[in-house]
Amino acid sequence: MSKIIVTHKNPDLDAIMSCWLLIRFDQSRYGEAALEFVPQGVTYKNQIVDSDQDVIHVDTGRGRFDHHQEGGYETCAAKLVWEDLIVQNLVAPSDLALSEMVKFALAIDRFEDSSWSEPLSTRYAFTLHEVIPMLHSLQTMDNEAVTRYVFVYLDGVYQRLKQLYRAQSEIGGAQVFDWARGKALAIESENSEVIKIAQKLGYTLVVMKHPKYGHMRIKGIPEAKIDLTPLYDKIMKIDRPDMWYLHPSKQMLLNGSDKSSPKDPTTLTLEKIIELVKKTWE
């Protein structure tokens, strides 16, 4: 018999993440599981919870993956599922991306977002836990459609966090140099998040070269209003003009981009770019 994952109607982030954890990380048992939705607190077909090995309840039914019972405020359904997956060696405790997702689900389930800074800011309308109830209220998708739609979003969040932690690790081994506008970073990496994270860490200029394809991106931090035109002019004297693109903002100088037509990789090295940067703003 195929497995069935049961959660409550109009599932919230905690309920949906619990289902996602089972389906994504316990695929041998739940990869093809059906989803069923019941009123909060009710069990599937009024079964005794956890009595059927093929039916698992999350965030409802007062079973092993439902925190709506004594002591439940200290945990949530996603955390209970995640901890069980760790015990089964299906996920690693060292997976920071996954643990942060579970921490976020717990924080939201405990309404900790009510004390976040600028609680009425419209930026929160873009966050998943606020979007999910609106998807339910629109009634253009049923419970399963909303749940599986959010699965894709959670896949993206998981990948984003993995890239973020990998970027932080890579930045630790990058080349740091001084220039007229502060600290700059030069690095070989294929992780697109490196530039964004480096800028958030205070580097005013980031030079990144793809280790496999050789393409290069040079970006100035927006707050510093850096105009890269002088650097672009110097590069045009020693490299083919058709290989580079100066963004209209003047803060990005690109040799190849995943948003544009492929360009031949530059033969310029990171060391050469560092030299040009220092000479341009000496």
> Looking at the structure, do residues 9 and 129 belong to the same domain, yes or no?
yes
Tokens representing residue 164 in the block: 């973020």
pLDDT of residue 162: 95
The whole-angstrom separation of Cα 226 and Cα 102 is 39
For the stretch 57-74, pLDDT in tens is 999 999 999 998 876 678
> Looking at the structure, do residues 195 and 233 belong to the same domain, yes or no?
yes
> Looking at the structure, do residues 11 and 94 belong to the same domain, yes or no?
yes
Closest by alpha carbon to 158, among 126, 187, 128?
128
pLDDT of residue 74: 87
Tokens representing residue 101 in the block: 């997702």
C-alpha pair distances (Å), 19 with each of 23, 107, 147, 187, 282: 6, 18, 9, 39, 57
> Looking at the structure, do residues 28 and 138 belong to the same domain, yes or no?
yes
Provide the total of helices (H) and of strands (E) in the chain, helices listed first.
9, 9
> Looking at the structure, do residues 77 and 208 belong to the same domain, yes or no?
no
Supply the DSSP string of 97-141, one letter for each residue.
HHHHHHHHHHHHHTTGGGGSSSTT-GGGGGSHHHHHHHHHHHTSS
For the stretch 111-168, pLDDT in tens is 999 899 998 899 999 999 999 999 999 999 999 999 999 999 999 999 999 999 999 9
Domain end marker among 123, 150, 166: 166
pLDDT of residue 66: 95
CATH number for the domain spanning 201: value is: 3.10.310
Tokens representing residue 46 in the block: 């009024």
> Looking at the structure, do residues 159 and 178 belong to the same domain, yes or no?
no
Q: Which domain covers residue 232, as residue numbers?
A: 174-280
Domain end marker among 122, 148, 166: 166
> Looking at the structure, do residues 121 and 190 belong to the same domain, yes or no?
no
pLDDT of residue 256: 81
The answer to whether the beta carbons of residues 50 and 64 sit under 8 Å apart is yes
Average pLDDT value over all residues in the chain: 94
pLDDT of residue 69: 82
C-alpha pair distances (Å), 177 with each of 205, 206, 223, 279: 10, 10, 19, 13
Split into its structural domains, the chain has a count of 2
Closest by alpha carbon to 80, among 53, 62, 54?
62
Cα dihedral value 114, 116, 118, 123, nearest 10: -90
> Looking at the structure, do residues 255 and 151 belong to the same domain, yes or no?
no
> Looking at the structure, do residues 12 and 109 belong to the same domain, yes or no?
yes
Altogether, the residues listed in the chain come to a count of 282
**pLDDT confidence band for 1 (50 / 70 / 90):** low
Closest by alpha carbon to 24, among 106, 108, 95, 110?
95
Q: Is the pLDDT of residue 22 over 80?
A: yes
Domain end marker among 166, 184, 219: 166
Contacts of 75 (CB under 8 A, 6+ apart): 67, 106
For the stretch 219-243, pLDDT in tens is 999 888 899 999 999 999 999 988 9
Q: Is the pLDDT of residue 206 over 60?
A: yes
Q: Is the pLDDT of residue 262 over 70?
A: no
> Looking at the structure, do residues 136 and 191 belong to the same domain, yes or no?
no
> Looking at the structure, do residues 52 and 113 belong to the same domain, yes or no?
yes
Q: Tell me which amino acid residue 275 is.
A: E
First vs last Cα of the chain: how many Å apart? Answer: 72
> Looking at the structure, do residues 113 and 222 belong to the same domain, yes or no?
no
